[in-house]
Structure 1
Amino acid sequence: MNFFERHRSLLTLHFTVLIWGFTGILGSLISIPALQLVWYRVLIAGATLAVYHWIAKKSVGVPASQMLKFMGIGVLVGLHWYLFFEAIKVSTVSVTLVSLSSMTLFTAILEPIYYRRKLSIGDIIVGLIIILGIYLIFKFEFQYWLGILLGLAAAACASIFSILNSKLVKTTEPSIITQYEMFGALIGLSIVMLFSGGFNADMALNVSDFVFVFILGSICTALAYVMGVAVMKNLGAFTVALVNNLEPVYGIILAFFILGSTEKMSLGFYAGAIIVLGAVFIYPLIRKKINA
């Protein structure tokens, strides 16, 4: 791999993370409720990936047992996205993104349990720092308590399905896993909406909602995912982890300029956010030093 290939991959990764950071903005701009929003997202993402596999002439056939596993995890992905967008609806993009950054905390706790290994001192220290940052955000932005709790729940779901996917991706191509997960999420959400009366007038999309939902499902989900996987061929896992941690930073900056005054928070919030995001950035460095 030459210099230009590496830097092109690095720029592509940053662009991908920027797109992921933009999903929160879209969640705020789209007027329909979170449940219907996520239903459209997984429908469009699943269909887009199916078209991608058809154009690339990739076989998506997997054993029935694996397919059920992928679709089961997809239900968890759907729950994660619902909690994420609901958090945005009841609070702000900034609050939700910082709360979602606690995924590092949940992973530090749950991953050792899943793989049956001891918690490291580094994991414990980083976890305590993140808890301190979240406490400050609770203290200074308590009016958004529901959004913070939903964001934390979304982070827990993201941590669980990421841990599960990290094992499955060793035997199946990531884009194929994602396609089945999108279909699993679609089925799960459809069942919930069927019994809760979610297929109602809230499904109606105006012109701007249609455009934003399509961008969310195709570009911010399917395309960004394929791009994110592609750069892993030229970049190490450590580099990818560090750049991925920029997602809330990009998202908060974009929200501040696009959404304006609704995203202006207290100094206490920004102090807590800096602590949380700082811990998130430190975490890969600690893990690398421990595993060296």
Structure 2
Amino acid sequence: MKDAHLKHVLWLTLATVFISTSGALGKFIDMPIAVIIWWRCALASVFLFVYCKFKKVNLSFATQKDGVTIFVSALFLGVHWITYFHALKVSNVAIGMLSLFTFPIFIAILEPLFSKVKFDPVHLILGAMVLLGVYFLAPDLDFESSHAQGVLWGIFSAICYAIRTIMLKKPVSIYNGSMLMFYQVLTLTLALVIALFIKDTSGIKSQYPYVILLALLTTAIGHTLFVNSLKYFKVSTASIIASTQPVFGIIIAFFFLKEIPTWNTLIGGSLIISTVVIESIRSKGKKS
């Protein structure tokens, strides 16, 4: 029993590491962001379709309403990815990933607006901690500063991701995670195809190994492993482990991009990640 639990923890940690590569890859790949996302989605949709067929996953929706929900939430996912990669490009991996990881607090604050969940006043305190962390990331609040721009784009990306996550709460309990991810990346492949006609796509000739890594390792394998881990862990437990993504991302960026985070970044990041862990532990306590 302990060996099985350890195995599941290792798979969840591996999923977190794989997903963490999005920061370094998003920063490194030298192509227009919309083109990067298109290739990411197009290749990931092929990988996920093959996986679903191999595993004989049902690809049909029970109702048309569920299909519409997946479609709309996919658009929020697309905006999240584009703005997240923009945050990485204008600042660095540490700023982009840490700003993005404000999303659990946005979920806690926004969820009562979309569902019957009651607002918890404690979220105001946690939100204040996040704001303090964001302040350390960009203390000058100079909108012409690349760090400040990275923080703002990262926070906007976090809000989009939070809305997408809230919208998927019900479908995730009904449908296979890989099937949902397949339809999301397929939707974005169709929505972003126009980018191939208005943006420079010639970079794919030299960048395709890294784009394949982003599509296969980060998106298809990483997200599939993470979704599958929810069968063995509570969402709160998985969230605590997943909150180490910025840590892994910063380490990967240090070795491959030679990016060294400042003390302000480390302090702000610690506050943001601590808030995520606190909220995850609190939510676990409520459910138990």
Which band: TM-score by shorter chain?
A: over 0.9
1:1-292 equivalent positions in 2, closer than 5 A: 2-62=1-61, 63-139=63-139, 142=142, 143=145, 144-191=147-194, 193=195, 197-198=197-198, 200-207=199-206, 209-260=207-258, 263-292=259-288
Contact 2:31 2:200 in 1 (8 A): no
Residues 237 and 280 of structure 2 are in contact (CA less than 8 Å); yes or no, is this contact kept in structure 1? no
Distance 2:261 2:237 in 1: 30
Q: Return the alpha-carbon distance in structure 1 between the equivalents of residues 123 and 102 of structure 2.
A: 13
- Classify 1:36/1:54 alpha carbon distance in 2 versus 1 (closer, same or farther; 3 Å): same
Long gaps (5+) in structure 2: none
TM-score, scaled to structure 2: 0.92
Cα distance in 2 for partners of 1:286, 1:24 equals 28
Report the TM-score, using the length of structure 1 for normalisation.
0.91
**Residues in 1 aligned to 2:124 and 2:225: alpha-carbon distance in whole angstroms:** 33
The amino acid across from 1:170 in the alignment is S
In the TM superposition, residue 283 of structure 1 has moved relative to its aligned partner by 1.4
* Structure 2: distance between partners of 1:112 and 1:180: 27
Q: Is the 8 A contact 1:140 1:266 kept in 2?
A: no
Contact 2:133/2:272, CA 8 A, preserved across alignment: yes
Contact 2:45-2:185 within 8 A present in 1 as well: yes
Q: 5+ residue gaps in structure 1?
A: none
What do the CA deviations read for 1:206-232 (whole angstroms, capped 9, x no partner)? 33x100100111121111122112222
Shift of 1:91: 0.8
Matched letter for residue 5 of structure 2: R
The structure whose residues are more often helix, as a share, is 1
Q: 2:174 aligns to what SS in structure 1? A: coil
* Alpha-carbon distance in structure 1 between the residues aligned to 2:71 and 2:190: 9
Question: Distance between the aligned counterparts of 1:145 and 1:273, measured in 2?
Answer: 15
Backbone CA RMSD of aligned residues = 1.8
Distance 2:231 2:261 in 1: 39
The CA distance in 1 between the partners of 2:277 and 2:157, in whole Å, is 20
Runs of at least 4 residues off by over 3 Å: 289-292
Whole-Å Cα distance in 2 between the matches of residues 29 and 234 of structure 1? 34
Check conservation: 1:84, 1:150, Cα contact below 8 A: yes
Matched to 1:172, the amino acid is: Y
The SS at the match of 2:173 is coil
How many aligned residue pairs are there? 284
Q: CA contact under 8 A between 2:93 and 2:250: conserved in structure 1?
A: yes
Instruction: Provide, for residues 75-123 of structure 1, a one-character-per-residue CA deviation record: whole Å limited to 9, x for no partner.
Output: 1111111111111111101100110011022112101221233321322
Local SS of the residue matching 1:201:
coil
Of residues 279-288 and 175-184 in structure 1, the stretch that sits farther from structure 2 once superposed is 279-288
